[in-house]
Copies of this chain bind each other. A is one copy, B any other.
C-alpha cells in the first residue's frame, strides 16, 4: 500500500463518515446502539484474548502467520467499533486520548512510578 493511500494516521471524522454510510446503506443504524456496539467491541477483545490465552509471552511475540492475521483482524474490529461507538455517543477520541494522557502523566510521576507494578496498577487510580 502506498503511503498516499494508507498514511499511518486515522482520520477519525472521515472514518466515521464512511462507517455511517456503510451502516445507512444496509439499514443497520438501528443495530448500532451504544450497548450493542460496546458488546461488539468487547467480543472483539475476547477473540484477542482467545488467540493469546495459552501462549507464553515469548510465543505471543512470535506468532505464526495465521494467528498474526487473526490478531490484526481483531485489532481492526476493535478500532472500527471504537470509532463507531464514539460517533454514536458523540465523544471525540483524539480529545479523550489527550485528556487521558495528561491525567496519566500527572498520576504517575516518573520518580514515584519507576518499575513499580503497584503504582502502575490501575487500582491505584481509584
What is the interface of chain A, defined by CB distance below 8 A to chain B? 1, 5-13, 15, 18, 22, 25-28, 30-31, 33-36, 38-55, 57, 59-61, 63, 67-68, 70-73, 75-80, 82, 85-86, 88-89, 91-101, 104-105, 108, 110, 113-117, 120-123, 126
Q: Which residues does chain B contribute within 8 Å of A97, judged by CB atoms?
A: 10, 15, 76, 79-80
Integer count of this chain's copies in the complex: 4
* 22 contacting pairs across A/B (C-beta < 8 A): A22-B101, A25-B110, A26-B110, A27-B115, A33-B60, A34-B60, A35-B35, A38-B45, A39-B49, A39-B50, A40-B54, A42-B48, A43-B46, A45-B45, A51-B123, A54-B117, A59-B117, A73-B100, A75-B85, A75-B93, A76-B96, A77-B100
The DSSP consensus for interface residues of chain A is helix
